[in-house]
Structure 1
Amino acid sequence: MVERVGLRARKKARTRDAIADVAISLFLAHGFDQVSVSDVAATAEVSKPTLFRYFATKEDLILHRFADHQGEAARVVRDRQPDTTSMTALHRHFRAGLDRFEPVTGLNDQPEVVAFHRLVFSTPSLAGRLMQYTLDDEDALAAALDRGIEGRIQAAQVIAVQRVLARANWQKIADGRTARDVQPEAVADADRAFARLRQATASS
């Protein structure tokens, strides 16, 4: 029984990934607004109802890559060691992402990743949907910090800093630099930003 459930979950994940890969390819080739959900379903060889079982909105077809990181900051805080402050854990996590050149940090120069971020940042409906993801992340982090209004303010600051750092990294790469060239600056920017956050929340 467990094996069947595991097989079913893997099959659903493969179908979801296949639909998303088709959608992203079409959006990058033709533009987000020029491709319909029907176009994606037809190319992926699934029905529209099947597509919407995996993705609630057209925007989610492309933003699922961000959704895969939803709640990450909250998990970092919850899973930190007892002798590690929340801000230190979040700083280390972001630095580790830079070391791995994770796309979510903006420090990735693969052409598809650079084009993907350009599409998201230049399409109003995608940027708006991404903002909702950001607000959800703030809520989750605030709950993990569990410090009332101070926790909510701190969560908003952390999520905003991560967003600004990632956008700055992506912009430098979009302007023609390599990820390895930008990395020292990205690390220095992250260290400086989290140091300021740590000073503001020394008791966290």
Structure 2
Amino acid sequence: MTDPSGVGTQSQQAGVTRAQDPPVMVASTVGDVTAVWQVEVDARVLLGDFSGAWLVDSDGVHGFAAGADWIDGRDDRETVLSLILGRPVIVSGEAAGLSAGLPDGVQVVDLEATVENARAAVERNREDFAEANPGKQQPPWGEIEFEEQGGLPPQGLDGDAAEAVTRCMSTARGVRRLAQSWNAVEKLRVQRLGGELRALPLVLA
């Protein structure tokens, strides 16, 4: 369990001064239980991955984070979620794009619009490459897709908690794959067209 306000990884590109792109939070609420996974999305990170996870219900935060001294009010659901969800949030399941069950002021990501935004950026890469290199074959830009990624059910949980974690992890795996695809495109763009690596182009709902 990690403090989402203090996560940091060393840039893989020498001389970069831009601050690390913040992680994206994935949240799923079932009943009064909210599962949260933190996904690193910085294109300069060699291997983006999960960097935090929390399970919060009406009694506050559970698991390892229940003893995290950086979380004030660990026994209060709203306080904990307000602290953890200070980054852009992708809501999984049927509530995708909505802030139902989450504190006021949460920055909810429009995942569908984000994917379209990324695809448009890839298309601009193709256009820019064609203009700069008339007649040359396009690099393998690849495709930008999002798809839920299933996995093994969580151990030691049942009921709403198990369902919230299952949904959250499925979406988080898909977001991780999306971020990795975007990062690969960005590294290829910098190699072929120059410029700086850009963050996953999130669109807020």
Shorter-normalised TM-score: what interval?
Answer: under 0.3
Higher relative strand content: 2
Structure with the larger RCO, 1 or 2 (CA within 8 Å, 6+ apart): 2
Give the helix-richer structure, 1 or 2. 1
